Structure formats: C-alpha cells, structure tokens
Amino acid sequence: MQVKNPLVEQLLAEHDEEAAEWLFVVQTTDDLATLESLGFDAVLGGHRDRAKGMAQSFSAVVLCDGVFDEDDELRSRAESLLRLDKSPAIALGYPSPQGQRWDDERIASIRRTWLHLCRDVIGELEFEQAENPEKFTPFPLHVLPPACRQFVQECAAAQSVDPAFVGVPLLAVLGGSIGISRRVQAKDGWVEPPIIWAATVAPSGSGKSPPLRQLLKPIFARDYCVGSKVGSVVEGARNNSKEPHQDVLVSDVTSEGLAVACHDNPRGLLLFRDELAGWVQSFNKYRSGDDAQQWLELWAANPLKITRKTQSPIVVESPAVSVVGTIQPAVARRCFGSREARESGLTARLLFVQPPISMACWTTKTVSVEARRAYENVVNTLLDLNLESEGLRSRILSFSSEGAALFADFHNRSSVRQLQAHERGDLDAYAMTAKARSYAIRLALIVALAKAADEGQAESLAVVDEEAVEAGITLASWFEREACRLNRSWGQRDAEHDETLDRKVLGIINKGDVTRSELSNGLDRNYTSVQISQSLERLSGKGQAERKDVAHEGPGRRLEVWGVIRAHRRDSA
C-alpha cells in the first residue's frame, strides 16, 4: 500500500503505546487506511465536524501535513503549546471527555514521545521555512519549571501583557541568581556558565518595566538585607569600606567599578538597566580604553584584569555578570542593529524579544501569594548556592547520557544551519546560530537548577537531565528565531533609512558642488558624519556622485567637494 505521509511511514516501523491513545488527522485515504490497518484511530482532515467530535475521546490529536491550517483557534493553541511554527506534524493536547484539559506535564510527555517517534523524519524546525517569518511566535512557557511558569502566567495576566514580557527577563534573573556558583559541562573542555544577557524591546508605555521590577523584588530584598546600596558603582566608593559589599544588583558601572564589584561578590552580579541604551553608551565613556571588548569577554566569564596607575591591578578569575533590561525599538535598532554592534558580536550575545503589544485593559488580577512565595523561594535558593570551598570555584554539573545525546543531535542540526548561513553570506545568522548552541547549554542548566530549587534539591544537583536539556534547546531555538526576526526588521529599516538619506544627499549636490560642511548643514541634524560618509560612498559606487579635491586658502590645503556626475544630474532633479 502506498504511503504519502513520511510520518505514517515511520509509524509502520515503530509502534508506540502512547500513540495508541491519539487520534491522527490525515489528508489522504491511503494514510487513513494504513493507520487503521495498524490499529490506530484516524480521520480525514476534510471531515472537520467529525474530527472535532472524535477528538473529545482521545488524549491528544496529531495533525499531519498541516491539516486544519485554516482553523486559527486550533493552530494557535498548537503553536503556543508546542512551539512548532510550521512542521509536518503537531501533537495537540485536547479536552478530555470530562471537559478537563491535560496538564502541562502530560502535554510535554506527549510531545517528547511524538518527536522521538518522528525526529528523523521532520528534523529540527528550520526558521527559513516558516510560513510567516515576521510573525511573533509565543514564548515557550511550557518548558519552565512549575513555580516559574505559574509566576510568569499570573504576573503577565496581572499586568495585561504578553507572557514574554515576564518570561524572557526571568531567565536573566535566574542566571544572575545562580552566578558562577554552578557551571555545566557539555563535554570535556566545553563548560558554560549560566550567564544570560536579555533585552525586552518595546515602546515606551507598553508595560515592559513593571514585570521586570516584580521579577527583581527578591534580589532587591536580599541586597537591602545585607546593607548594600543597590545602584551605581563609582570609582573609589569602596576605598574606605572595611568589609566588601555583597551586592547582586548593579546598574551603572565603568569597567573598573565592575571589576571591584565582581571582586567583592565572587558569586556574580546582575546588571539591571531599565533602559539598556545607557549600558551600551557607557562603553568607553570615562576613558579611551577597551571597555566594549572587556564586556564581550565577560559574556564567557573570561578572566577580568584592570590595570590602575596609582593602585594595584584588580584581577577576577571568573567574573559572572548577567544583564537584563528594556529598550525601545528605534533605540534598539541604533544600538544593536548597527554594523559595529553586529560585527563585534555584541548583538549575537543578547537574547532579544519584541512581544506583541496588547491593550492595557483594567484587571483586578494580581499575583497570588502562593505563586509569589514559590518564585521567591526559587530565587533565594539559587542565591544561596555555595561555591566550592576550595578556591571559591564553580561546581561543575554534567549532562545525563540522554541529555548529552539530545544536545549532540541539536548541535549537528544547528551546525548545518550555520553552514548554510555562511554559504549565503548571512553573517548575522551565522553568529547567532553559534551563540544559540552555547545558550542552549546555559538555559538547560538554569531550568534544571530552578526546578531543583523548587523541589529543595538545588544544592545537591549534579546532573542536568534530558528534560532540562530539551527545555534549553527549545528556548535557545525560540530566541534564535526571534533574533532572526528582529534582524530582518532592522535590516529592512536600515535599507529604507539609507535610501532616504541617499535621495536627500543627491538632491542637495544636484544643485551644485558642495563641501562636506555645506552638505551636513543642508541635511537633518539626526544624520551623523559617518552616515553621510557612507551615503557618499554608496552614491560614488553607483556612479552618481564624485569627489573633487579643490585648492583651498592656505599653503598645501585641499578642500573636499562633492558633486553629481553630469550624466546623472538630470535624472536626480
């Protein structure tokens, strides 16, 4: 019998007890007959009413080959639960006959079994193949540990915002709470710290700051209890202190101040900026050094050394600084979408999210006492994790054998995408894919420790299991897709911005030769000298403008003058 669906072909070779409880919705009568001959329950996707009626009697529905694509409600629930934007199959937890939905653990179990069954067939989701790559896909809330998931859900509902406004900064807060107390070893020689740099991109007034303040409350309380003043770390502020402060939160630091803070708190820090543009602009603000490069090194917890003229150098062997904050879309494009930020690797190191903006409806919902206490317990437990007593070093965790195999599979698929990005000259995607592999490891460690903290086993945890590794991979893949979406948006806006500037420059020099100073005066003030130079280079490369060095008053001086090449003067008028 001919089989048209590759997933059904896989079922011919592999039978699974879990699959016996599912209803398969297929498109062809061949697939229908094949599944029924194997003892599985199936229905044609064209029979919508019958399919929906039958679904009430099964633990899950498996949609094959995109059937029900036009059913927005069903598709939306599938995407939000399983994070598969477009795939040959989607397993969807459906209401039971009693009208009760399966809990998240049941849904996750169904998903794991189904993906194991057809992983070799469908492979890893390719971001380039998404039906609408510009569309925001929901944050994978289901992979978070129960206490964290409940807090995110209730906080988002109380603030009337998308769960991503809470879920993304949550990961940085958890990473900052763990600090350098734990690392995880993917293999011999590859060890990752739980350092997370997260940025929420949203307009002013969209509600991006209140969730972040809610997430930071336990750390603010901890800093207050130890008598620390959370905020700016200023050069020389600690010179007269008899005891080093143990601040976790910092907000405005120079490289020297950061080194002092890391030295005082060897467990690690969490840099919090309500507006991350201030963090980026602080690079090299107070001295013409290499602050930006030092920050890039800090992402990997590489040793930090600051040489001072009048005092002994500051050396921190394993500085751990997570970063969390918000930024407005236009500012994010300037700070992180610039060529300098992308080529330096800064942009690829951040986990971005730009959630959809919803109407801020009045609600009486608040975060329940139970959810708040459970979340605070997780954060405080992570803050209490001890360093190894000998040398104040990290305790190294390892992957379980199943987790290691799962990550190896992800790594190989990711490497294929990275090579494809290189071949098509997409250096941004190339860099982001590489960083996504590191983030998958880091996020797996964070999820494992957060779950263990909720269960009272964080201090003794030694192995990151398969479930945590899968969660890390899911989160890293989601962030990779979100970064690609934002980079495409930034790239399109950059192209439009460049085209607008080129038209303005061409319009000015078409009236007659002008100096650079005259050209700058004729343009809007929001164009920098670098942008004007780049515009002139583009126009020159297209053969539309030319540079003419003319004599200027004064011995040996030449003046840079730009004009339109005569053949193009009429066209640009």
How confident is the model over 3-28, as a mean pLDDT?
55
303 lies in the same domain as 367: yes
On whether both 169 and 264 belong to a single domain, the answer is yes
Residue 313 has pLDDT above 50, yes or no: yes
- Does a structural domain hold residue 55? yes
Query: Is residue 72 in some structural domain?
Result: yes
Same domain, 95 and 200: no
Give yes or no: residues 65 and 209 share one domain. no
Where is the domain boundary, 375, 396, 417? Answer: 396
Question: Is 39 strand, coil or helix?
Answer: coil
DSSP state of 321: E
CATH no. for residue 317?
3.40.50
Residue with tokens 């708040």: 372
Measured between alpha carbons, how far is 421 from 431 in angstroms, rounded to an integer?
Answer: 9
Among residues of the chain, what percentage have pLDDT more than 90?
A: 34
Q: 244-282 burial string, b = 16+ CB within 10 Å, else e?
A: ebebbbbbbbbbbbbbbbbbbbbbbbbbbbeebbebbeb
| Domain annotation covers residue 480 | no
Which of 396, 431, 464 is the C-terminal boundary of a domain? 396
**Residues 239 and 291 placed together within one structural domain of the fold:** yes
Lowest mean pLDDT among 93-102, 362-371, 430-439, 524-533: 93-102
Question: Residue 59 pLDDT more than 50?
Answer: yes
Q: With 80 as the cut, is the pLDDT of residue 194 above it?
A: yes
365 close to 157: Cβ distance less than 8 angstroms: yes
Report the distance separating Cα 74 and Cα 82, nearest Å: 12
Buried b (16+ CB within 10 A) or exposed e, 175-190: bbbbbbbbbbbbeeee
- Kindly indicate the confidence band of residue 521, based on its pLDDT and cuts at 50, 70 and 90: confident
The predicted model gives 187-216 an average pLDDT of: 94
What distance in Å separates the CA atoms of residue 238 and residue 244, rounded to the nearest whole number?
A: 8
pLDDT confidence tier of residue 71, bands split at 50, 70 and 90: very low
CA gap 369, 372 in Å, rounded: 5
Distance, in Å, from the CA atom of 107 to the CA atom of 82, rounded to the nearest integer, reads: 9
CA 76: distance to chain centroid? 21
Q: 138-177 pLDDT, tens per residue? A: 999 999 999 999 999 999 999 999 999 999 999 999 999 9
Domain housing 155: 147-396
pLDDT value of residue 231: 45
Q: Which of 369, 396, 423 is the last residue of a domain?
A: 396
Local confidence band at 333 (pLDDT 50, 70, 90 cut-offs): confident
pLDDT digits (tens, 9 = 90+) for 270-280: 999 988 988 88
Res 446: pLDDT: 98
Confidence at 38, pLDDT banded by 50, 70, 90: low
**What is the predicted pLDDT for the residue at 325?**
95
The two tokens of residue 558 are 């030449």
Whether 259 and 348 share a structural domain: yes
Closest CA to 59 of 109, 15, 10: 109
Among the ranges given (368-372, 383-387, 398-402), the one the predictor scored with the smallest mean pLDDT: 383-387
Pairing assessment for the beta strands 269-273 and 321-327 based on DSSP bridges: parallel
The terminus-to-terminus CA distance of the chain in angstroms comes to: 69
In a domain, 483, yes or no: no
What average pLDDT does the segment 498-511 reach?
84
Give me the mean pLDDT over the 59-71 stretch. Answer: 52
Higher pLDDT, 105 or 36: 36
pLDDT value at residue 47: 65
Q: How many domains does the chain have?
A: 3
Is the domain of 107 the same as that of 158?
A: no
Q: Which tokens go with 199?
A: 């940025």
Mean pLDDT of the chain: 76
The model's confidence at residue 22, banded by pLDDT at 50, 70 and 90, is low
Report the CATH number that the domain containing residue 535 is assigned in CATH.
1.10.10.10
227 and 116, same domain (yes or no): no
Residue 424 lies in a domain: no
In three-state secondary structure terms, 327 is strand
Residue 402: pLDDT band (50, 70, 90) is: very high
Pick from 31-35, 78-82, 157-161, 334-338 the range whose average pLDDT is largest. 157-161
Looking at the fold, whether 165 and 294 belong to one and the same domain comes out as: yes
Based on the fold, state whether residues 31 and 80 are members of the same structural domain: yes
Instruction: Give me the pLDDT at residue 556, please.
Output: 55
The CA distance from 309 to 290, in Å, is 16
**Residue 274 domain flag:** yes
Looking at the DSSP bridge assignments, the partners of residue 234 are: none
Residue 495 lies in a domain: no
The predicted pLDDT at position 236 comes to 42
What are the strands of the beta sheet with 182-187, ordered from one edge? 190-192, 182-187, 395-399, 463-464
User: Is 218 within a domain?
Assistant: yes
DSSP letters spanning 478-497: HHHHHHHHHHHHHHHHHHHH
User: Is residue 57 very low, low, confident or very high in pLDDT (cuts 50, 70, 90)?
Assistant: low
Which tens digit of pLDDT belongs to each residue from 290-308?
A: 677 888 889 998 888 877 6
| Whole-number pLDDT of residue 359 | 78
Per-residue model confidence (pLDDT) at position 440: 97
- Higher-scoring residue by pLDDT: 105, 156: 156
Residues 61, 177 within the same domain:
no
Q: What is the structure's pLDDT at 553?
A: 57
Beta-strand relationship, 41-44 and 60-64: unpaired
**Whole-number Cα distances in Å, 459 to 97, 307, 385:** 42, 36, 6
Q: What is residue 260's predicted lDDT score, i.e. its pLDDT?
A: 82
556: left (phi over 0), alpha (psi -120 to 50) or beta: left
The torsion angle over the Cα atoms of residues 295, 410, 180 and 268, rounded to 10 degrees, is 40
The CA-based angle 216-345-257, given to 5 degrees, is 50
Q: Are 565 and 545 a contacting pair, CB within 8 Å?
A: yes
Tokens read off for 343: 């080529």
Token duo for residue 192: 């990752």
Residues 163 and 45 in one domain: no
Q: Are strands 197-201 and 351-353 parallel, antiparallel or unpaired?
A: parallel
**pTM: predicted TM-score of the whole model, two decimal places:** 0.67
Q: Which residue has the higher pLDDT, 554 or 262?
A: 262
Q: How far is CA 254 from CA 262, 293, 306, 415, in A?
A: 12, 13, 11, 36
Residues 6+ positions from 425 with CB-CB distance below 8 Å: none
Unique residue bearing structure tokens 């992800």:
410
pLDDT at 28 (0 to 100): 66
Select from 327, 326, 269 the least CA-distant residue to 298: 269
* pLDDT value for 251: 81
Residue 389, classed as helix, strand or coil, is coil
Question: Which residue reads 């402060």 in tokens?
Answer: 245
Question: 433 with 418: CB under 8 angstroms?
Answer: yes
Phi, psi angle pair for 194, to nearest 5°: -85, 40
